[in-house]
Chains A and B, each alone.
Chain A
Amino acid sequence: MDELIASVVRGLGIGSTYALLGVGFVIIYRATKVINFAQPALMILGGYFTSLFATRAGLPFPVAVVAAMVAVAAIGALCERVALRPMVGEPPFAAAMVTVGVFIVLLIVAFRLIGTQVLTVGDPWGLSRTSVLGVSVAQVDIAKIVISLVAIGVIGVFLARSRLGLAMRATALDQEVALAQGVDVGRIFGLSWAIAGALAALAGMLIGTASGGIEATTALVALKALPVIILGGLDSIKGSVYAGLLIGVAESLTRTYQPEHAPFLGANFDVVVPYVIMMAVLMVRPYGLFGTPEVQRV
Chain B
Amino acid sequence: MLAVENLEVVYEDVVLVLKGVTLEVPRGEVVALLGANGAGKTTLLRALTGLLGVHRGSITKGSVTLDGAAIDHLDAPHIVAAGIGQVMEGRRIFAEFTVEENLRIGAHTAGRAAVQSGLDRAYMLFPALANRRTQLAGYLSGGEQQMLAIGRALMTEPAYLLLDEPSLGLAPLMVRRIRDLIGEINLQGTSILLVEQNAAMALSVASHGYVLETGKIVMDKPAAVLREDEDIREFYLGLRDEGAASFRAVKHYKRRKRWLS
Contact = CB atoms under 8 A, between A and B. Distances in A.
- A and B associate: yes
Interface in A152-208: 163, 166-167, 169-170, 173-184
Contacts of A163: 104, 108, 112
A292 interface: yes
Nearest to A187: B77
B51 A170 contact: no
B104 A182 contact: no
Given A163-B108, A166-B101, A170-B105, A179 B95 contact: no
A177 B95 CA distance: 12
A167 to B, nearest CB: 6
Given A174-B94, A176-B51, A177-B92, A182 B156 contact: yes
Nearest to A292: B96
Interface stretch (B4-12, B80-88, B120-128): B80-88
A169 B77 contact: no
B235 interface: no
A89 to B, nearest CB: 8
Contacts of A133: none
Main SS class of interface, A: helix
B100 to A, nearest CB: 10
A297 B138 contact: yes
Nearest to B93: A177
A181 B138 contact: no
B96 A182 contact: no
Interface string B52-79: 0010000000000000000000011100
Contact of A296 (B77, B138, B152): B138
Contacts of B97: 169-170, 173
A169 B75 CA distance: 21
A295 interface: yes
A181 B106 CA distance: 5
Contact of B77 (A170, A173, A184): A184
A181 B108 contact: yes
A89 B12 CA distance: 14
B54 A182 contact: no
Given A170-B94, A297-B139, A180 B156 contact: no
Query: Which of B86, B105, B106, B156 has the most chain A CB atoms closer than 10 A to its own CB?
Result: B105
B171 to A, nearest CB: 15
Nearest to A177: B92
User: For chain A, which range describes its interface: under 10, 10 to 19, 20 to 34, or 35 or more residues?
Assistant: 20 to 34
Contacts of B77: 179, 182-184
Contacts of A174: 92, 94
A295 B76 contact: no
B42 interface: no
B219 interface: no
User: For chain B, which range describes its interface: under 10, 10 to 19, 20 to 34, or 35 or more residues?
Assistant: 20 to 34
Interface in B138-167: 138-140, 152, 156
A179 B51 contact: yes
A200 B156 CA distance: 36
Contacts of B106: 181
Interface string A278-298: 000000000000001001110
Contact of A176 (B54, B108, B109, B112): B54
B49 interface: yes
B136 interface: yes
Contacts of B139: 295, 297
B81 A295 contact: no
Contacts of A173: 94-97
Nearest to B109: A182
A221 B166 CA distance: 53
A182 B81 contact: yes
A176 B53 CA distance: 10
A185 to B, nearest CB: 8
Contacts of B136: 295
Contacts of B92: 174, 176-177, 180
B111 to A, nearest CB: 10
A166 B51 contact: no
A177 B49 contact: no
B24 to A, nearest CB: 23
Interface in A61-90: 89
B80 A181 contact: yes
Given A167-B105, A167-B108, 7 more contacts: A170-B105, A173-B97, A180-B80, A180-B86, A296-B95, A297-B139, A297-B140
28 contacts: A163-B108, A170-B94, A173-B97, A174-B92, A174-B94, A175-B54, A176-B51, A176-B88, A179-B50, A179-B54, A179-B77, A180-B49, A180-B51, A180-B76, A180-B86, A181-B106, A182-B108, A182-B109, A183-B77, A183-B105, A184-B75, A184-B77, A295-B95, A295-B136, A295-B138, A295-B139, A296-B138, A297-B139
In the A-B complex, the 3 residue pairs with the closest CB atoms: A182-B80, A295-B138, A182-B109
Interface of A: 89, 163, 166-167, 169-170, 173-184, 292, 295-297
